[in-house]
Amino acid sequence: MPDDFLIPHHEYDITAIRAQGAGGQNINKVSNAVHLRYDVRASSLPPDHKERLLQLHDHRITRDGVVVIKAQQFRSLEQNREDAVRRLHELVQSVATPPRTRRATRPTMGSKLRRLEGKSQRSQVKALRGKVLD
């Protein structure tokens, strides 16, 4: 997936909600926080991207495959909206490249020797802990 990949606006819903936390009277009057909901299964993402996104163990992804992002960092509704969309793009971008397949390797001869030397040193230390005979 290229870096300039954009998720179409019609695929996610943005609702304005009241933000939590301190803010005085302004927080009681204005809905500045944003809830962004993005249904992964109904999206136009490629199937392999959808699969990797749904397999993520992320608290923002529900069991139904809906990504829910809450943005309330800024005082402005527009900035929170941009922040939520940016975070959605980052989440989708994180699964864009497939994980590298792991190739099994064998321990090197040097690492085996170091391990055995460490074991023999440890056994000598433990052997010297016994009773001293006169």
Q: For 40-49, how does the pLDDT look when each residue is reduced to its tens digit (9 = 90+)?
A: 888 888 888 8
What is the C-alpha to C-alpha distance for residues 120 and 90, in angstroms, rounded to an integer? 51
The CATH number linked to 39 is 3.30.160.20
Q: What is the domain range of residue 26?
A: 9-94
pLDDT in tens, 83-130: 999 999 999 888 888 889 999 999 999 999 999 999 999 999 999 998
In a domain, 72, yes or no: yes
In a domain, 133, yes or no: no
Q: Are strands 66-71 and 33-39 parallel, antiparallel or unpaired?
A: antiparallel
Whether residue 32 has pLDDT greater than 90: no
Cα-trace Rg, the chain: 27
pLDDT at 5: 66
Whether residue 8 has pLDDT greater than 90: no
Q: Is 90 or 22 the better-scoring residue by pLDDT?
A: 90
Helix axes 77-94, 47-55, angle to 10 degrees: 100
Overall number of domains in the chain: 1
pLDDT in tens, 36-81: 999 988 888 888 888 888 888 888 888 988 999 999 888 888 999 9
pLDDT at 23: 63
